C-alpha cells in the first residue's frame, strides 16, 4: 500500500518504462547531459519514460539547499552543483544510482506523492534484500535504525522528473566523512555490505526492477546502455 496516492497511468495510455543500465563509471557531466536531453524529449512526447541505473566516480554533489559549511574537506573529490533538491551527497563506485525520468503530468502532477513513491520503492527493495528500511520524520531518504542507507534528490522540469535515488551497496563509507550528508549532523551512513546483506549489484538491480511496478504502476522494458 502506498503512503500517498500517485496517479497511475493506464497501460493503454502509456508505453512501458525503459530500463537502462550502464556498466562503466559514468562521469557526472555526461549523465546530466543525457538526463536533461531525455527529460526534454519525454516532455515533448518523443521518448518513453525511463529509469537509468549507473555508478559514478567518487564525487560530491551540492543540491539547491546545500550550505558551503557542510563541505568539510574541500578539494578531496570534485564537487558539482546540481539542480536537484537537497544538500550535499556523495556518489561513488559500488553505490547504485537510479535516475528516474517519469512524466508526472500523466501521474497527477503531485511531486510529494512522487517522492513518497520513491521512498516506498526503496523500502520494498531493501525488504527484498533482507533489510528493514524506514522513513525518519522530517528527513529525506531511507534509514536502517539510526543510519542512512539511501538518499533521494529530485527535480521536476515541465512535469518530467530528473535525478532520483542512490542506494549504498558497498561504497567506501569513509568517503562520506568529507561532507555532512544531506545536512544531517551526527547521523551515520551505512550500506548493504556493512549490514551483512546482499552486495551483488545484479541482484540489487533485479530487486529494484521487481519492485518498481508496485511503486509506480508501470511495467519496464530493457533498453540498450545509453552511454
Q: Which residues pair with 89 in a beta bridge?
A: 61
Kindly list the domain boundaries of the chain, sorted by start residue.
17-222
Q: What is the pLDDT of residue 9?
A: 57
This model's pTM is above 0.85: yes
Q: CA angle, corner 109, sides to 104 and 110, nearest 5?
A: 105
pLDDT reported for residue 186? 74
pLDDT of residue 154: 94
Q: Is the Cβ–Cβ distance between 200 and 208 less than 8 Å?
A: no
User: Domain 17-222 carries which CATH code?
Assistant: 3.30.930.10
Q: How confident is the prediction along the chain (227 residues), in pLDDT tens digits per residue?
A: 344 556 655 544 567 999 999 999 999 999 999 999 999 999 999 999 999 999 999 999 998 888 999 999 999 999 999 988 888 999 999 999 999 999 999 989 999 999 999 999 999 999 999 999 999 988 889 999 899 999 999 999 999 999 999 999 999 999 999 988 766 677 899 999 999 999 999 999 999 999 998 899 878 999 888 87
- Count of CB atoms within 10 A of residue 31's CB? 20
What's the confidence (pLDDT) of residue 4? 55
Instruction: Name the residues annotated as catalytic.
Output: 182
Nearest to 56 by CA among 108, 17, 96: 96
Which pLDDT belongs to residue 225? Answer: 82
Amino acid at each position: 500500500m502506498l503512503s500517498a496516492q500517485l496517479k497511475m497511468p493506464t497501460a493503454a495510455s502509456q508505453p512501458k518504462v525503459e530500463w537502462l543500465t550502464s556498466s562503466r563509471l559514468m562521469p557526472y557531466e555526461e549523465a546530466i547531459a543525457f538526463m536533461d536531453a531525455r527529460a526534454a524529449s519525454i516532455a515533448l512526447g518523443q521518448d518513453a519514460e525511463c529509469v537509468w541505473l549507473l555508478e559514478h566516480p567518487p564525487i560530491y554533489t551540492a543540491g539547491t539547499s546545500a550550505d558551503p559549511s557542510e563541505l568539510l574537506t574541500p578539494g578531496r573529490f570534485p564537487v558539482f552543483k546540481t539542480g536537484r533538491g537537497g544538500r550535499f551527497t556523495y556518489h561513488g563506485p559500488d553505490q547504485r544510482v537510479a535516475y528516474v525520468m517519469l512524466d508526472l503530468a500523466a501521474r497527477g502532477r503531485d511531486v510529494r506523492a512522487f517522492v513518497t513513491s520513491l521512498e516506498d520503492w526503496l523500502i520494498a527493495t531493501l525488504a527484498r534484500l533482507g533489510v528493514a528500511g524506514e522513513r525518519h520524520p522530517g528527513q529525506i531518504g531511507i534509514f536502517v535504525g539510526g543510519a542512512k542507507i539511501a538518499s533521494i534528490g529530485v527535480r521536476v522540469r515541465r512535469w518530467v522528473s530528473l535525478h532520483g535515488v542512490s542506494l549504498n551497496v558497498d561504497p567506501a563509507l569513509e568517503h562520506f566523512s568529507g561532507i555532512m550528508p544531506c545536512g544531517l549532523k551526527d547521523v551515520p551512513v551505512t550500506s548493504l555490505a556493512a549490514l551483512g546483506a546482499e552486495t551483488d549489484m545484479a541482484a540489487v538491480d533485479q530487486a529494484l526492477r521487481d519492485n518498481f511496478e508496485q511503486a509506480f504502476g508501470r511495467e519496464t522494458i530493457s533498453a540498450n546502455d545509453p552511454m
